[in-house]
Amino acid sequence: MSGDDARVASTTPAAVVAERLRITEIFHSIQGEADAIGWRTVFVRLTGCPLRCVWCDTEYSFYGGDWHAIEDILAEVASHGAGHVCVTGGEPLAQKRCLILLQKLCDAGYEVSLETSGALDVSAVDPRVHKVMDLKAPDSGESRRNLWSNLDCLLPHDQIKIVIASRGDYEWACSMLAEHALADRCMVLFSPVHGAVQPRELAEWIIADRLPVRFQMQLHKLLWNDAAGH
């Protein structure tokens, strides 16, 4: 083996690992929420999340998954012929190489969105990506994890999502709206927790209080009752 060959042999495994992500699923569906709602979208669901929200509906993404080379992920995304790609989880930013995937998806010309918990630093996310960033309300059990400095990383095309499980959560969300001037930063979405708050009740609170927020229900739950793969 030449000196060069030896260097390749010793560096290739690390280089390959550096380009891989642990993936729970990749699927083609309709975007069920946020500003790209209704668009045919390829979802790339990364495995793992350091949070444990009480009402989490993707617990199956916490463990397991398979390692995929980023180039293979790009090829699978392309095979579905959709213009929109949503990188989600779990918490996708828990895998640092997610940033590479996001950049490559943008370079390939997709409209890219990132669903993130708001607990991890978003400052290095490609600015072309539409971030849909949660602020965790008290009933999630994870409110202390909100990384408030992330608010200063949001761009006008990003969105803040607050999932509301009770009147107490709603009042907290109203306080945050005022205290952090959330609606001046980007679109703010209020979404009811399925089975915890009646959607109509939340809609009526928003109307009564004349809030500058966008009410949303998850379209995929209405269409497919939240079955995996949609």
- Catalog residues that contact ligand SF4 under the rule CB under 6 A: 49, 51-53, 56, 58, 89-91, 117
Closest separation in Å from C-beta 63 to ligand SF4:
12
- Judged by beta carbon, residue 74 or residue 150, the one nearer ligand SF4 is 150
The residue among 42, 46, 51 whose CA lies nearest residue 21 is: 46
Side-by-side strand order, sheet with 84-88 = 66-69, 20-30, 40-46, 84-88, 111-116, 130-134, 159-164, 187-192, 214-215
Q: Which residues are annotated as a binding site?
A: 30-32, 45, 49, 53, 55-58, 88, 90
Closest separation in Å from C-beta 35 to ligand SF4:
19
Indicate the helix (H) or strand (E) that contains 107.
helix 98-107
Q: Which residues are annotated as a binding site for Mg(2+)?
A: 58
Length of the chain: 230
Q: Which residues are annotated as a binding site for S-adenosyl-L-methionine?
A: 55-57, 90
Residues 228 and 59: their CA atoms lie apart, in Å, by 11
Closest separation in Å from C-beta 194 to ligand SF4:
12
Give the 3-state DSSP-derived string for 42-66, with helices as H, strands as E and coil as C.
Answer: EEEEECCCCCCCCCCCCHHHCCCCE
Residues 218 and 132: their CA atoms lie apart, in Å, by 14
- Judged by beta carbon, residue 7 or residue 52, the one nearer ligand SF4 is 52
Closest separation in Å from C-beta 75 to ligand SF4:
26
Residues 170 and 152: their CA atoms lie apart, in Å, by 23
- Judged by beta carbon, residue 36 or residue 133, the one nearer ligand SF4 is 133
- Judged by beta carbon, residue 53 or residue 176, the one nearer ligand SF4 is 53
Closest separation in Å from C-beta 19 to ligand SF4:
24
Closest separation in Å from C-beta 136 to ligand SF4:
7
- Judged by beta carbon, residue 46 or residue 77, the one nearer ligand SF4 is 46
Q: Which residues are annotated as a binding site for [4Fe-4S] cluster?
A: 49, 53, 56
Check residue 90 and give left, alpha or beta (phi > 0: left; psi -120 to 50: alpha).
left
- Are 113 and 132 in contact by the 8 Å Cβ rule? The answer is yes
- Judged by beta carbon, residue 92 or residue 129, the one nearer ligand SF4 is 92
